[in-house]
C-alpha cells in the first residue's frame, strides 16, 4: 500500500521497569494498555513506535545482586531478559526494548547532562531531605509531614539523607509548568496530563512552589551513569530513567518520532513525568511530550483481612497478582480474554480496580462467551443451515440501520473518541454494543422462524447478511484489544486484514475497512469451535 496511509506518526511509551523484581500485574497492565493503543494506531494506518524497557541503575539492583553473589549487570541482564520473555509470551508488540545500562542510552544521557551543566540549569550544591528508599525519591518537607514521614507506597519510614549533588534548577520553570498544567499554551506547546483529578493534584503541588532537585548522587557503588567531569557523582536513577523516552529515538532514523504522543504510566510516578520531565525538556530546548496519562492501581484485599479496604499490592502484604496467576488466566480463558479483562475492568481513570477471580469469570461469561462468542456461533450456524454456509446477499447500502439506531459514522466516531481518551472500556463498549445490536435484530426478526415460511429465503438472507457484516465491523474495533481471536474470526470469514497489514509494514486502513457492505456475498463461512467457550464455576 502507498505511503499515503502514513498520515502521521504515533509514539507511545510505558515506564521502564525496575529490574530488582520479577514482572507482575503492574508491569503487565501498563504494557498491555500501551500495546492496545499501539495496535489501534497501527490499525488506523499510523506509523507507530511503541517503546518499553528496563530501568537498571537503581541502588536496590546493587543490593539484590549482592545478596545473590552476582554483579549488578548480571542481575540486570537476568531480569531484563525475564521482562522481555514475558512481554513476548504475552504477545506485546513493542518496537524496541531499551535498557538503561546500554551504551546507546548512557552516551546520550551524558550528552544531555553536559548540555544542562553548560547552560547552568544543572549546578553543584548540597541537599538534605527526606528520602523514600523504596521509590528512590526525595520527598519535600511539607509533603513528608503530610505523609507522617512514611512512604505513601511502601508505608516504610522516610529516611533523613544529606548529599553533595548536582541540582537541576526546577524552580526556574515553576511558572511555565503551572501555566502548562492549567492548560495554557506555553511557547507554542501544550502538555496534557490526565486524568483530570491527577492533574489537579500536581497543579496544587506546583502552586505550593517548587524546589530545585538533586540529579546526581554519591556512593552508587559504581553502578550508574557517571556525571561528566565529576569524580564520584552518578546520575540519579530517576533522571537517567526519564531520558530513555528521548535517548531511544534521538538517532538520525528516529528523530522524527519525538515528541512522544503519550507516556503511559501509573499514578505513583506522575510527579516525575508531569513536573521534572517537562522541565528538563524545556531546559534542553526539546519539544514536550503531548500527553502523560496516569492510570490508577490494581488492588486486592490482603489475605488476613478480606474486609479491610483494598490496598496497593506488595510482596510483604502477600496480595500481589503474580505473573503465574496471569499466565493461568491466559491458559484457561485465552490471552485475548485476559486482555479484555484488563482493558474493561482495569484502573484507567482516577479509581483503583479490584482484582477478583469471580469478576474475571463473570466478565468472561457475560461479554465474551454469552455475547460475542454466542453471537458469532448463532450467525454462522444459521448461515450454515439456511444459506449453505456462504455469506448471503443483503442490503449493502443501508442495512446497518436495521441493526443499530445510530449511523455507522457516529459509532466509529465514538470509538475514536474513546481511543483518543485512552478509554479502552469505552472502545470495547462501542464494539460490544454492535454485537448486542445483532442479537436484538435476530430477536426482533426471528430468521429461524421466517425460514420456515414460503418465499422468505431472500429476507432471511438479508437479515443474516446484516448480522455477519455487523460482526465484521465489531471484530475490527475489537482487534486492538483481542487481536488473536479477531484474526481467527477474520480467517473464518475469509477476510484478509491480517495479511494486508503484514504486507503494509503492520499498518491497516480502519477508515476504509470500517464501512458498511464490504463483506462479499458468496464468501464461504467456516463454523469452527466456539471462540469463547462458556466457563463453568
Which residues of this protein are in contact with ligand MSP, per CB under 6 A? 15-18, 25-27, 29-30, 55, 241-242, 265-266, 268-269, 297-298, 312-313
Q: In the bound complex, what is the minimum distance in angstroms from residue 27's beta carbon to ligand MSP?
A: 5
Three-class SS state of 165:
strand
- Structure letter (DSSP) for residue 158: P
Compute the chain's Rg from CA coordinates.
Answer: 26
C-alpha cell at 343: 482493558
Q: What count of other Cβ atoms lies within 10 Å of the Cβ of residue 493? A: 22
Q: In the bound complex, what is the minimum distance in angstroms from residue 265's beta carbon to ligand MSP?
A: 5
Measured CA distances, 517 to 10, 193, 396 (Å): 30, 40, 4
Cβ closest to ligand MSP, residue 266 vs residue 349: 266
Q: Euclidean distance between the first and final Cα of the chain, in Å? A: 48
- Name the residue whose CB lies closest to ligand MSP: 266
Distance CA 173, CA 182 (A): 14
Q: What count of other Cβ atoms lies within 10 Å of the Cβ of residue 473? A: 26
| Long-range contacts of 355-358, Cβ-Cβ distance < 8 Å, separation of 24 or more | 355/25, 355/298, 355/299, 355/300, 355/321, 356/300
Cβ closest to ligand MSP, residue 13 vs residue 233: 13
Q: In the bound complex, what is the minimum distance in angstroms from residue 16's beta carbon to ligand MSP?
A: 5
The number of C-alpha atoms within 13 Å of 452 and in the hemisphere containing its C-beta is 3
Cβ closest to ligand MSP, residue 165 vs residue 244: 244
Cβ closest to ligand MSP, residue 308 vs residue 452: 308
Distance CA 357, CA 308 (A): 18
> Peptide bond before 324: cis, by omega within 30 degrees of 0?
no
Distance CA 282, CA 288 (A): 7
Distance CA 118, CA 109 (A): 14
Question: CA nearest 479: which of 465, 463, 491?
Answer: 491
Phi, psi (rounded to 5 degrees) for 148: 60, 35
Q: In the bound complex, what is the minimum distance in angstroms from residue 497's beta carbon to ligand MSP?
A: 32
Q: In the bound complex, what is the minimum distance in angstroms from residue 463's beta carbon to ligand MSP?
A: 44
Q: In the bound complex, what is the minimum distance in angstroms from residue 24's beta carbon to ligand MSP?
A: 7
Cβ closest to ligand MSP, residue 59 vs residue 242: 242
Cβ closest to ligand MSP, residue 18 vs residue 131: 18
- Structure letter (DSSP) for residue 226: B
Cβ closest to ligand MSP, residue 341 vs residue 490: 341
Q: In the bound complex, what is the minimum distance in angstroms from residue 294's beta carbon to ligand MSP?
A: 8
Cβ closest to ligand MSP, residue 55 vs residue 166: 55
C-alpha cell at 252: 538520525
> Peptide bond before 409: cis, by omega within 30 degrees of 0?
no
C-alpha cell at 357: 477471580
Q: In the bound complex, what is the minimum distance in angstroms from residue 151's beta carbon to ligand MSP?
A: 13
Query: Counting beta carbons within 10 angstroms of the beta carbon of residue 224, is it exposed (0 to 12), middle (13 to 18) or buried (19 or more)?
Result: buried
Cβ closest to ligand MSP, residue 424 vs residue 468: 424
Distance CA 418, CA 509 (A): 18
Q: In the bound complex, what is the minimum distance in angstroms from residue 15's beta carbon to ligand MSP?
A: 4
Cβ closest to ligand MSP, residue 313 vs residue 510: 313
Question: CA nearest 219: which of 168, 169, 167, 164?
Answer: 164
Q: In the bound complex, what is the minimum distance in angstroms from residue 401's beta carbon to ligand MSP?
A: 42
Cβ closest to ligand MSP, residue 279 vs residue 486: 279
Q: In the bound complex, what is the minimum distance in angstroms from residue 165's beta carbon to ligand MSP?
A: 19
Amino acid at each position: 500500500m502507498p505511503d499515503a496511509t502514513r498520515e502521521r506518526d504515533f509514539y507511545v511509551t510505558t515506564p521502564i521497569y525496575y529490574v530488582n523484581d520479577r514482572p507482575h500485574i503492574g508491569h503487565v497492565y501498563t504494557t498491555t494498555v500501551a500495546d492496545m493503543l499501539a495496535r489501534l494506531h497501527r490499525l488506523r494506518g499510523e506509523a507507530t513506535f511503541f517503546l518499553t524497557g528496563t530501568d537498571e541503575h537503581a541502588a536496590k539492583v546493587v543490593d539484590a545482586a549482592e545478596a545473590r553473589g552476582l554483579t549488578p549487570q548480571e542481575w540486570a541482564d537476568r531480569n531484563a531478559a525475564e521482562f522481555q520473555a514475558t512481554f513476548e509470551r504475552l504477545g506485546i508488540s513493542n518496537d524496541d526494548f531499551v535498557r538503561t545500562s546500554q551504551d546507546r542510552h548512557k552516551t546520550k544521557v551524558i550528552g544531555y547532562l553536559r548540555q544542562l551543566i553548560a547552560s547552568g540549569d544543572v549546578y553543584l550544591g548540597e541537599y538534605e531531605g527526606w528520602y523514600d528508599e523504596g521509590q528512590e525519591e526525595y520527598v519535600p518537607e511539607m509533603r513528608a509531614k503530610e505523609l507522617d514521614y512514611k512512604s505513601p507506597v511502601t508505608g516504610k519510614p522516610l529516611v533523613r539523607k544529606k548529599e553533595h549533588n548536582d541540582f537541576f534548577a526546577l524552580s526556574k520553570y515553576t511558572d511555565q509548568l503551572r501555566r502548562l498544567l492549567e492548560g495554557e499554551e506555553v511557547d507554542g506547546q501544550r502538555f496534557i496530563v490526565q486524568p483530570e483529578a491527577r492533574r489537579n493534584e500536581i497543579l496544587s503541588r506546583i502552586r505550593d512552589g517548587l524546589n530545585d532537585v538533586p540529579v546526581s548522587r554519591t556512593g552508587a557503588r559504581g553502578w550508574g551513569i557517571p556525571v561528566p567531569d565529576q569524580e564520584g557523582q552518578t546520575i540519579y536513577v530517576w533522571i537517567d530513567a526519564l531520558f530513555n523516552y528521548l535517548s531511544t529515538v534521538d538517532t538520525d532514523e528516529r528523530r522524527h518520532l519525538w515528541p512522544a504522543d503519550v507516556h503511559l504510566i501509573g499514578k505513583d510516578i506522575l510527579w516525575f513525568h508531569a513536573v521534572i520531565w517537562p522541565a528538563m525538556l524545556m531546559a534542553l530546548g526539546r519539544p514536550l511530550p503531548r500527553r502523560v496519562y496516569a492510570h490508577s492501581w490494581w488492588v486486592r484485599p490482603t489475605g488476613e483481612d478480606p474486609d479491610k479496604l483494598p490496598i496497593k499490592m506488595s510482596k510483604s502484604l502477600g496480595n500481589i497478582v503474580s505473573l503465574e496467576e496471569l499466565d493461568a488466566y491466559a491458559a484457561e480463558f485465552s490471552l485475548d480474554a485476559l486482555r479484555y479483562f484488563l482493558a474493561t475492568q482495569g484502573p484507567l481513570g482516577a479509581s483503583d480496580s479490584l482484582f477478583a477471580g469471580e469478576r474475571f469469570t463473570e466478565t468472561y461469561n457475560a461479554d465474551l462467551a454469552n455475547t460475542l462468542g454466542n453471537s458469532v456461533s448463532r450467525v454462522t450456524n444459521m448461515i450454515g443451515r439456511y444459506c449453505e454456509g456462504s455469506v448471503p446477499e443483503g442490503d449493502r447500502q443501508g442495512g446497518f440501520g436495521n441493526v443499530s439506531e445510530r449511523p455507522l459514522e457516529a459509532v466509529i466516531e465514538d470509538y475514536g473518541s474513546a481511543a483518543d481518551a485512552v478509554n479502552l472500556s469505552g472502545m470495547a463498549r462501542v464494539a460490544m454494543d454492535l454485537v448486542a445490536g445483532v442479537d436484538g435484530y435476530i430477536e426482533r426478526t426471528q430468521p429461524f422462524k421466517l425460514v420456515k415460511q414460503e418465499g422468505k429465503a431472500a429476507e432471511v438472507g438479508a437479515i443474516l447478511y446484516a448480522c455477519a457484516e455487523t460482526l465484521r465491523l465489531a471484530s475490527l474495533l475489537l482487534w486492538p484489544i483481542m487481536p488473536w481471536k479477531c484474526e481467527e474470526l477474520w480467517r473464518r470469514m475469509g477476510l484478509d486484514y491480517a495479511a494486508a497489514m503484514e504486507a503494509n509494514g503492520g499498518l491497516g486502513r480502519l477508515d476504509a475497512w470500517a464501512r458498511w457492505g464490504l463483506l462479499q456475498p458468496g464468501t464461504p463461512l467456516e463454523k469452527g469451535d466456539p471462540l469463547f467457550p462458556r466457563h463453568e464455576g
